[in-house]
Amino acid sequence: MSQLDTLKQYTTVVADTGDFHQLAQFKPQDATTNPSLILKAVQKPDYQPLLTANQAQHGKLPMDERIDRLLVRFGCEILSVIPGRVSTEVDARLSFDTAATVARARRLMALYQAEGVARERVLIKIASTWEGIQAAAELEREGIRTNLTLLFSMCQAVACGQARVQLISPFVGRIYDWYKKSAGAAWDEAAQAGVNDPGVKSVTQIYQYYKQHGIATEVMGASFRNVGQILALSGCDLLTISPELLAQLAANSEPLTRHLDAVIARAKAVPALHYNEASFRLALNEDAMATEKLAEGIRAFCGDAVKLEALMQG
């Protein structure tokens, strides 16, 4: 068996791509997209007809609705290939506006339902700001399931658990990037690999906290830089993986050890945490890595949203 096949015994494998033509070979359960992945996909020749058709059919609509219809078109194509759920992201420029995020999420879900897609097959991705988490809490109460992304810290994870969101996506690779850059010449790659990787340690801590406190929110490790990070999180509820790293896992048949286990996690006792808006903002502010990477991630997704709009204007 390949490492990918073995990993699927412990963890739900999710493909992190907007390129739905790549999905079938890896047989993932779910798939995730984001503005950067969609922008990358629509610039490939294979997807020009899809972009052209969207323009022809919806070109007279406001740009924000045209974008949403394009995202849903990609999502529907992905859902035709996978058996599970697709994650579709709300415009990152709304990350600090609870009401606007809720409205956009409702529209995305309505567009999916108009295509005959059941609510259970869609997760609405929202940045893990305080405003985004409050929007997710409202949406979850309405039966719209959410995926809280750009998550880098325990305070974000705890607040998401309080909001009873369906799923969180802690970003392993971007945490790793920050610590590696911060350490500079002192960084020891070998010593910081595998279970010692700072991104892996963050997701492991969140996973164990959720299991210890009976929090039903699913944990999906995301943003991987190498296969070692993935293997060190085997047993996590879900892992969303790029096609490039899925291919590496599929080509390797070396043994794989399970590292995360809910039963073992529940045996440990840690104090419960709780955040209101003030304590959340203070905790996030005290975590330089999480503050910087959250802001950087939102800026990058906003930038790619602008680029996608420019492409559609052209």
In this predicted structure, what is the pLDDT of residue 313? 86
Q: Which two tokens stand for residue 98?
A: 């609870």
Q: What angle do CA 154, 9, 34 make, to 5 degrees?
A: 50
What residue segments make up the domains of the chain, in order of their start? 3-183+201-309
Active site residues: 125
Distances (CA, A) of 84 to 7, 26, 30, 72: 17, 14, 5, 15
Cross-strand partners of 89: 125
Q: Which two tokens stand for residue 132?
A: 């985004």
**Which residue pairs, CB below 8 angstroms and at least 24 apart, start in 158-162?**
158/209, 158/273, 158/274, 158/275, 159/128, 159/130, 159/133, 159/275, 159/280, 160/128, 160/133, 160/136, 160/217, 161/210, 161/213, 161/215, 161/217, 162/137, 162/274, 162/275
Q: Return per-residue pLDDT of the chain as tens, 314 residues.
A: 999 999 999 999 999 999 998 898 999 999 999 889 999 999 999 998 988 999 999 999 999 999 999 999 999 999 999 999 999 999 999 999 999 999 999 999 999 999 999 999 999 999 999 999 999 999 999 999 999 999 999 999 999 999 999 999 999 999 999 999 999 999 999 999 999 999 999 999 999 999 999 999 999 999 999 999 999 999 999 999 999 999 999 999 999 999 999 999 999 888 999 999 999 999 999 999 999 999 999 999 999 999 999 998 86
3-183+201-309 domain in CATH 3.20.20.70? yes
One-letter amino acid of 183: A
Q: Which two tokens stand for residue 73?
A: 């078109």
Distances (CA, A) of 100 to 22, 86, 97, 236, 307: 33, 22, 5, 32, 21
In this predicted structure, what is the pLDDT of residue 200? 98
pTM above 0.75, yes or no: yes
Alpha helices (H) in the chain, listed in sequence order:
3-10, 35-42, 48-58, 63-79, 98-114, 130-141, 154-162, 172-183, 198-212, 227-231, 243-250, 262-266, 277-286, 288-313
In this predicted structure, what is the pLDDT of residue 35? 83
In this predicted structure, what is the pLDDT of residue 152? 98
In this predicted structure, what is the pLDDT of residue 269? 86
Most distant CA atoms of the chain, gap in Å: 58
**Are 225 and 2 in contact, with CB atoms under 8 Å apart?**
no
Q: Which two tokens stand for residue 238?
A: 């879900």
Cα separation, 194 vs 172, whole angstroms = 11
